[in-house]
């Protein structure tokens, strides 16, 4: 894991407080805080913190800090990336059930369009980073796990290459992917800070930072990114109940980004694909990589209203996609 140094901790604290309005702020859940360098900085700034730590070696120091404070810090043994695993029976720590976690936090569920009920901060491990981002997306679109409680805000240090994908624009064949489209539709994306990899401390005794290599995209920094679910996400035809189908449609479309949309519609046996494109004001020769995220949403809603479109052939692939991600 990577740990912030004192200088960077102060920068992160300032970034997290940036844009905070007047009045009480939602509690901040910090996952994998390690030795608590950032935790102490956040506490000094008056922020109420819940530390979710999965390494038993770090717990005593965090628990000692908890006892010295009057309720400003709560320490929980648990693994943020083992929230709500798809297993039967009682969970064995450090696996965590989100319902019990939120009950412990004292955070109640709020309507989707209400204010953010909880803020989360942490450094994403670069192993399985992409799959973990997908899992956040599925949870958010389906309003499951942490998103049953409302528009939970994520503040994550991501690798620069993954941030580049999240923020990519149409026409960028290297970076513009299904993850780009779905993230931009689902979240407000704000880049809070970029920091060179060398600024981070590693607790690996072998020494040196294990930096993911990439040839096609830049990856010289970790990027602190704020992902806030869109208030208007579930207006129109997109709902938590059909969002899995929408996700899979976008993934199918961008599996071959150089393919024309008209060809994809023909592969779905839509005889009136040309009429549909005309109604959506999308050029007939438009490639998948040319469409803006909102175009994909409009396409999905139009297909939902089409008498010739049936989702039944999607179901098996949608289920398999969800099972793989989880």
pLDDT in the model for residue 305: 80
Question: Could you tell me which residues come within 8 angstroms of residue 177 by beta carbon, excluding any fewer than 6 positions away?
Answer: 165, 168, 254, 257
Q: Of the candidates 157, 162, 181, which has an alpha carbon nearest to the alpha carbon of residue 170? A: 181
In whole angstroms, what separates CA 49 from the centre of its chain? 20
Output the six-digit token pair for 66.
């908890």
- Of 194, 229, 264, the residue at which a domain comes to its end is 229
Q: What's the mean pLDDT in 200-206?
A: 62
List the structure tokens of 13: 């604290």
Q: Please, which residues bridge with residue 96 across strands?
A: 83
Answer positive or negative: Cα dihedral of 214, 220, 222, 226.
Answer: negative
The answer on pLDDT for 292 being more than 70 is yes
pLDDT band, very low/low/confident/very high, at 183 (cuts 50, 70, 90):
very high
In the block, which residue shows the tokens 């704020």?
A: 226
Q: Which has more confidence, 207 or 58?
A: 58
- Per the structure, the complete domain to which residue 34 belongs is given by 2-229
Residue 43 pLDDT exceeds 80: yes
d(CA 15, CA 80): 22
Lowest pLDDT segment from 43-57, 68-82, 203-217, 297-311: 203-217
Distance of CA 24 to the CA centre of its chain: 25
Query: Using an 8 Å Cβ cutoff, are 72 and 44 in contact?
Result: no
- Mean residue pLDDT of the chain comes to 89
Residue 235 covered by a domain? no
Both structure tokens of 260: 């024309």
Confidence of residue 207 (pLDDT cuts 50, 70, 90): very low
CA separation for the pair 81, 53 (Å, rounded) = 11
Residue 16 lies in a domain: yes
pLDDT band at 22 (very low <50, low <70, confident <90, very high): low
Q: Which of 55-59, 300-304, 318-322 has the highest mean pLDDT?
A: 55-59
Q: Is the pLDDT of residue 319 over 90?
A: no
Categorize the per-residue pLDDT at 309 as very low, low, confident or very high, splitting at 50, 70 and 90. low
- Residues contributing to the annotated binding site: 3, 53, 79
Q: Are residues 93 and 191 in the same domain?
A: yes
CA distances from 213 to 163, 195, 217 (A): 15, 17, 9
State whether 90 and 208 are in the same domain. yes
Residues 152 and 262 occupy one common structural domain = no
Place of tokens 């450094």: 123
Q: Given 172, 207, 229, which residue is the final one in a domain? A: 229
Query: How many angstroms separate the CA atoms of 221 and 191, rounded?
Result: 12
First to last CA, the chain: 22
pLDDT at 114 over 50: yes
Q: Is the pLDDT of residue 216 over 90?
A: no
Q: Which residues pair with 157 in a beta bridge?
A: 123, 224
Which residue bears the tokens 């469409």? 291
53's enclosing H/E stretch is strand 49-53
- Residues 25 and 174 reside in one and the same domain: yes
* DSSP designation for 32: S
210: domain CATH number is 3.40.50.150
Domain match, 133 and 20 both: yes
* 212 phi and psi angles, rounded to 5 deg: -60, 135
Q: Which residues sit in the known binding site for S-adenosyl-L-methionine?
A: 3, 53, 79
Q: Are residues 225 and 253 in the same domain?
A: no
Domain boundary residue among 191, 207, 229?
229
Whether 300 contacts 249, CB under 8 Å: yes
For the cut 90, the answer to whether the pLDDT of residue 271 exceeds it is: no
pLDDT at 108 over 90: yes
How many structural domains comprise the chain?
2
Classify residue 278: in a domain, yes or no.
yes
Per-residue pLDDT, 148:
97
| 177 and 308 both lie in a single domain | no
**What six digits make up the tokens of 158?**
């991501």
Tell me, yes or no, whether 111 and 219 share the same domain.
Answer: yes
pLDDT digits (tens, 9 = 90+) for 54-80: 999 999 999 999 999 989 999 999 999
Q: How many CA atoms lie within 13 A of 25 on its CB side?
A: 20
Of 123, 136, 130, 131, the C-alpha closest to 197 is 123
Instruction: Tell whether the model's pLDDT for residue 200 goes beyond 50.
Output: yes
């Amino acid at each position: 894991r990577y740990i912030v140094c004192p200088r960077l901790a102060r920068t992160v604290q300032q970034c997290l407080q940036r844009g905070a309005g007047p009045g009480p702020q939602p509690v901040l859940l910090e996952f994998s805080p390690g030795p608590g360098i950032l935790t102490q900085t956040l506490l000094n700034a008056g922020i109420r913190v819940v530390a979710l730590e999965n390494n038993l070696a770090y717990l005593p120091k965090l628990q000692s800090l908890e006892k010295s404070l009057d309720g400003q810090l709560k320490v929980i043994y648990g693994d943020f990336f083992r929230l709500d695993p798809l297993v039967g029976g009682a969970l064995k720590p450090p696996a965590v059930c989100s319902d019990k976690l939120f009950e412990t936090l004292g955070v109640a569920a709020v309507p989707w369009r209400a204010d953010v009920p909880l803020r989360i901060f942490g450094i994403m491990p670069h192993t399985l980073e992409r799959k973990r981002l997908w899992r956040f997306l599925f949870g958010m679109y389906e309003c499951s796990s942490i998103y049953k409680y409302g528009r939970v805000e994520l503040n994550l240090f991501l690798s620069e290459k993954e941030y580049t994908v999240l923020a990519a624009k149409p026409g960028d064949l290297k970076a513009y992917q299904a993850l780009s489209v779905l993230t931009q539709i689902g979240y407000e994306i704000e880049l809070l800070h970029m920091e060179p990899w060398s600024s981070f401390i590693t607790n690996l005794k072998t020494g040196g930072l294990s930096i993911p290599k990439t040839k096609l995209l830049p990856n010289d920094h970790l990027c602190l990114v704020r992902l806030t679910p869109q208030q208007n996400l579930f207006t129109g035809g997109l709902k938590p109940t059909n969002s899995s189908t929408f996700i899979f449609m976008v993934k199918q479309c961008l599996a071959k980004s150089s393919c024309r949309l008209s060809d994809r519609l023909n592969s779905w046996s839509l005889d009136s694909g040309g009429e549909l494109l005309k109604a959506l004001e999308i050029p007939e020769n438009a490639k998948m990589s040319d469409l803006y995220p909102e175009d994909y949403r409009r396409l999905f809603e139009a297909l939902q209203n089409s008498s010739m479109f049936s989702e039944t052939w999607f179901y098996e692939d949608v289920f398999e996609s969800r099972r793989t991600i989880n």
